Amino acid sequence: MEINAENMLFDQLNAAVKASNDKKIIIKNVLGQRYIGSGAENKEIVIYGVAGNALGAYLSNTDIKVYGNAQDATGDTMNSGSITVYGHAGDTIGYAMRGGTVMVEGDAGFRVGIHMKEYGKHIPKIIVGGKTGDFLGEYQAGGIILVLGIGYENECPVGAFCATGQYGGKIYIRTRHMPRDLPPQVDVKTNADKSEILPLIKEYCSCFGADFNSLSKDEYMLLTPSTSNIYKRLYCNRSM
Amino acid sequence: MKDIPEKYIEGNARIPSGCAISGFFSKKGNRVSGDKIVQSISYMHDRSNGLGGGFAGYGIYPEYKDQYALHVFYNDMRAREKTEQFLNEHFDIVNLSRIPTRKHKNIVNEPLIWRYFVSPLPTKLASSQLEEQEFVVKCVININIGIDGAYVFSSGKNMGVFKAVGYPEDVGEFYRLDEYKGHAWTAHGRYPTNTPGWWGGAHPFSLLDYTIVHNGEISSYDANRRYIESYGYKCTLLTDTEVITYIIDFLNRKKGLSLEDTARVIAPPFWQQIEALPDPERERLTDLRKAFSSLLITGPFSIILGFKDGIMALNDRLKLRSMVVAEKDDVLFVASEECAIKAICSNPDRIWSPGGGEPVFATLEK
């Protein structure tokens, strides 16, 4: 099914998406309509234009591709599936996500991956090709955030106060520059082991045509909550 | 209860909103019709709830560019008579008229809306021993607190504020903004959080050439208000945006701080960040924070400040509200959401999100 979203209000557009029984839905001329694919299950949604706030919130087993940019709160609390943005994204992408993958070709805004979490085999992943704003991984409780920093090789590609309140999960950054204003409860490992992120780098490269050989050779910094952080025991992942 | 549409009954509908701001500025001074800003803000319809919308246009009154343009709401003719008597005593009124509006089904209960192009009477100005701008400010404050049912909501030169209770796109049609041309426009769609929402409380808030549109809710309102009122300002509306307008007038016009430094006062870096700076800058920012500690604005905000020959966009230092900025040729665009920019500029040269506390400027090229 194909929908022309030009001049459509967000509720009309989302009603049309929900009413369709087709697995694949293509939406053209999107300009800021909110909640596209929110709560969707077992769909494939392709968007052309600027996707509005809360794209793919509570998403389950659905793949969303955006040919254009995404605004704020992309993948808010998503469960599974994938959101791929062929452009840049706004603030708080992957907010409290609990599974699936959000992948952004370019830059992303503030508070990427705030409060993302994991449980058992459900380990969410966020991959950002460019740089991110301040408070990356704020209150992170689980999952993997990978910032490739392509085009920002001479600076740290994440903003200030990265990993503030982090008590679980991992943040990988392709950089040799220490992030600014790191909180004391974070452990930093330079030139970290890459085995966990190589499949993610590969996925990014196959989607956006970046050079896997050079990206996989570079140094990555790993941020994790310090083991002396007592909160870790309270909230983070337990084996099932 | 039968007559009330379902969607207006509490508990039956959630209204997902936050305020919306949008604005653009031509550095070459190219004047464009106001319908462009109306189109931009309309794409963020869902961020407001119909309880306030407004616009500021700069460069819209070239034929009266040397006079102060006063836009005034009146509840009744008595308020108008008293105000005009006051104006006649203090100003030379070069022109006066009702502000042209068109009937709109969604804009109701409008007050009387009048416009005056005025110059201070030289004798009155001299005897007041005030600078001209300060004289105008004092007169505006006198009307707003002293004359029941009158409210001056715009008082700058070659610029004007247009605001009402309603969705911004309806407000723009109501005020016939397509008939004005300006080199800069800002807009606001309102979702009031603390006050019921009336015409005077809609954004932009303005004093002289300064206008503010604001998305957010500042938690330092009372601390800021107490401080600023000690310098003769009166916060009459209990809404946070009004105090931001007065803070900027105080710091920039009265204290002579640059707008960059004004931004550093209201959205300063954290102490730990200041401590890490090299010395002349560390000392300067320390002085600024200490000198004006009561003017630190806490809580979420994104604002667009309009001023004489420029605009400034600024987020709170934690960036708790979204804001996107774009450039195309000589025009700077600012909006809460990217869609509002793309609606009027489909292919910008550059588009980005400034960090918290990081002001972005556009000013007229000389």
Secondary structure of residue B36 in the 3-state scheme? helix
What does the pLDDT read at residue B15? 44
pLDDT at B45 over 80: yes
Q: Please name the residue of chain A whose CA is at the shortest distance from the CA of residue B317.
A: A134
Contact A90 B45 (CB under 8 A): no
What is the separation of C-alpha B208 from the centre of its chain, rounded to a whole number of angstroms?
11
- Residues in B closer than 8 angstroms to A52, CB to CB, are 337, 339
Residues of chain A in contact with residue B272, where contact means CB-CB under 8 angstroms, are: 181
Strands B350-352 and B324-328: antiparallel
Residue of chain B whose Cα is closest to the Cα of A72: B322
Shortest CA distance to B320 belongs to which of B267, B262, B263, B245?
B267
CATH number of the domain enclosing B266: 3.60.20.10
CA distance A56 to A78: 7
Q: What is the pLDDT of residue B3?
A: 52
* CATH 2.160.20.60 for domain A88-235: yes
Given a cut of 50, is residue B12 above it in pLDDT? no
| Both structure tokens of B162 | 């247009």
d(CA A207, CA A221): 23
Question: For the segment B137-171, what is each residue's pLDDT rounded down to a tens digit?
Answer: 999 999 999 999 999 999 999 999 999 999 999 99
| CA distances from residue A124 to A108, B322, B337 in whole angstroms, order as listed | 17, 24, 26
Neighbours of B144 (CB within 10 A): 17
Q: CA–CA separation, A71 vs B357, rounded Å? A: 20
- Do B319 and A134 count as a contact with CB atoms less than 8 A apart? yes
Write the Ramachandran bin of B309: left for phi over 0, alpha for psi from -120 to 50, otherwise beta. left
Find the domain containing B268 and state its range.
6-60+158-363
**Do residues A4 and A26 touch, judged by C-beta distance below 8 A?**
no
Smallest CA–CA distance, residue B277 to chain A, in Å, is 12
Indicate the residue of B44, B324, B355 with minimum beta-carbon distance to A133.
B355
Phi, psi of B157 (to 5 degrees): -105, 135
How many whole angstroms separate alpha carbon B166 and alpha carbon B197? 10
Beta strand residue intervals within B277-323, DSSP E:
301-307, 310-315
Residue A31 and residue B352: Cβ atoms within 8 Å? Answer: no
**CB-CB neighbors (< 8 A) of B319 in chain A:** 91, 110, 133-134
Closest by CA to B304, choosing from B231, B214, B221, is B214
The DSSP string of chain A is -EEE-TT--HHHHHHHHHH---SEEEEEEEES-S-TTTT-BS-EEEEEEEB-TTTTTT-BSEEEEEES-B-SSTTTT--SEEEEESS-B-SSTTTT--SSEEEESS---SSTTTT---BTTB--EEEESS---SSTTTT-EEEEEEE--TT-TTS-SS-SSTTTT--EEEEEE--SSPPTT--TTEEEESS---TTTHHHHHHHHHHH---HHHHHHS--EEEEE-TT-TTHHHHS----
Return d(Cα A132, Cα A149) in angstroms, integer.
8
Task: Tell me what the mean pLDDT of segment A188-208 comes to.
Answer: 97
Residues of B with CB under 8 A from a CB of A: 16, 43-46, 270, 272-273, 318-319, 322, 324, 337-340, 342-343, 351-353, 355-356
- How does DSSP assign B41-89, residue by residue? HHTTGGG--SS-EEEEEES--GGGTTSEEEEEEESSHHHHHHHHHHHHH
Mean per-residue pLDDT over chain B, rounded: 92
8 Å CB contact of A9 and B322: no
Contact between chains at B356 and A110 (C-beta distance less than 8 A): yes
Q: How far is CA B363 from CA A33, A161, B27, B149, B297, in A?
A: 32, 32, 6, 36, 24
- CB-CB contact of A69 with A85 (8 Å): yes
Q: Which residues contact B14 (CB under 8 A, 6 or more apart)?
A: none
Tell which of A30, A36, A50 to mutate to test the B interface (max B CBs under 10 Å).
Answer: A50
How far apart are the CA of B275 and the nearest CA of chain A, in angstroms?
11
A182 touches chain B (CB under 8 A): no
The pLDDT score that the predictor gives to residue A167 is: 87
Of B43, B322, B343, the CB nearest to A91: B322
Q: What is the pLDDT, as a whole number, of residue B241?
A: 86
pLDDT tens for A137-162 read 999 999 999 999 999 999 999 999 99
The predicted complex's ipTM stands at: 0.91
CB B37 within 8 A of CB B185: yes
Cα angle B302, B307, B228; round to 5: 70
Average pLDDT for residues A7-20, to the nearest whole number?
Answer: 95
A110 CB within 8 Å of a chain B CB: yes
Restricting to A residues 186-225, those with a Cβ less than 8 Å away from any Cβ of B are none
Three-class SS of residue B117? strand
- Tokens 């004093």 sit at which residue? B207
Tell if the CB–CB gap between B44 and A53 is shorter than 8 Å: no
Q: How far away is chain B from the Cα of A40, in angstroms, using its nearest Cα?
A: 19
Among A112-116, A182-186, B172-176, B325-329, the minimum mean pLDDT is found in A182-186
**Whether B17 contacts B45, CB under 8 Å:** no
User: For residues B177 and B54, is the Cβ–Cβ distance under 8 A?
Assistant: no
A132 — contact with chain B (CB < 8 Å)?
A: no
Q: How many domains does chain B have?
A: 1
Where is pLDDT greater, at B306 or A227?
B306
Model confidence at A120: pLDDT above 50? yes
Round the CA-based radius of gyration of chain A to a whole number and report it: 17
Partner-chain contact B339 A72, CB within 8 Å = no
User: A165 — contact with chain B (CB < 8 Å)?
Assistant: no
Q: How sure is the predictor about B2, in pLDDT bands with cuts at 50, 70 and 90?
A: very low
User: Is residue B130 domain-resident?
Assistant: no
Element (H, E) at B162: strand B159-164
Residue at B286 is within a domain: yes
Can you tell me the mean pLDDT for B74-92?
97
- Coil, strand or helix at B329: coil
Give the mean model confidence (pLDDT) for residues B80-88.
Answer: 98
Which residues are within 8 A (CB) of B3 and not within 5 positions of it... i.e. 6 or more apart?
none
B18 pLDDT exceeds 80? no
B19 is catalytic: yes
For residues A190-198, average pLDDT: 97
User: Does A94 lie at the interface with B, CB-CB under 8 angstroms?
Assistant: no
Q: Is the pLDDT of residue B7 over 50?
A: no
Size of interface A-B (CB pairs under 8 A): 59
Question: Which residues in B lie closer than 8 A to residue A162 (C-beta atoms)?
Answer: none
The answer to whether A3 touches A36, Cβ cutoff 8 Å, is: no
- The pLDDT, as a whole number, for residue B9 is 45
Confidence grade of residue A185 (pLDDT, cut at 50, 70, 90): confident
- With cut-offs at 50, 70 and 90, classify the pLDDT of residue B197: low
From A195's Cα to the closest Cα of chain B, the distance in A is 33
Query: Using the beta-carbon criterion (under 8 Å), do A134 and B45 form an inter-chain contact?
Result: no
User: What CA–CA distance (Å, rounded) separates B332 from A119?
Assistant: 45
CB contact under 8 A, B353 and A91: yes
Taking contacts as CB-CB distances below 8 angstroms, the residues of chain B near A31 are 43, 339, 342-343
- B50 — pLDDT class (breaks 50, 70, 90): confident
Mean pLDDT of B332-358: 97
Query: Does A171 have pLDDT greater than 80?
Result: yes
Nearest chain B Cα distance for residue A166, angstroms: 17
Q: How confident is the model at residue B13 (pLDDT cuts 50, 70, 90)?
A: very low
Instruction: For residue range A39-81, list pLDDT tens digits in order.
Output: 999 999 999 999 999 999 999 999 999 999 999 999 999 999 9
For residue B199, name the pLDDT band (cuts at 50, 70, 90). Answer: confident
What pLDDT does A230 receive?
58
pLDDT tier at B235, thresholds 50, 70, 90: confident
Q: What average pLDDT score do residues B178-188 get?
A: 98
Yes or no: say if A58 and A78 are a contact pair by the CB < 8 Å rule: yes
B91 neighbors B118 (Cβ within 8 angstroms) = yes
How many other C-beta atoms can be found within 10 angstroms of the C-beta atom of residue A197? 23
> B278: left (phi > 0), else alpha (psi -120 to 50), else beta?
beta
List the single best residue of A9, A53, A135 to mutate versus B (max B Cβ within 10 A): A53
Judging contacts by C-beta atoms under 8 Å, the chain A residues touching residue B315 are none
pLDDT, position B236: 79
Cβ-Cβ contacts under 8 Å, A138 against chain B: none
B308, two tokens = 């004489």
To test the contact with chain A by mutation, choose from B7, B41, B46 the residue with the greatest count of A C-beta atoms within 10 A, namely B46
pLDDT score for B325: 98
CA distance B221 to A218: 49
Q: Is B355 in contact with A181 (Cβ distance < 8 A)?
A: no
- According to the model, what pLDDT value does residue B6 have? 53
Chain A residues within 8 A of B273 when measuring between CB atoms: 160, 181
The closest alpha carbon to A235, from A165, A164, A137, A157, belongs to A165
Q: Above pLDDT 90, what percent of chain B?
A: 84
Q: What is the mean pLDDT of residues B267-278?
A: 93
Domain residue spans of chain A? 88-235
Q: Measured between CA atoms, how close is A189 to chain B, in angstroms?
A: 23
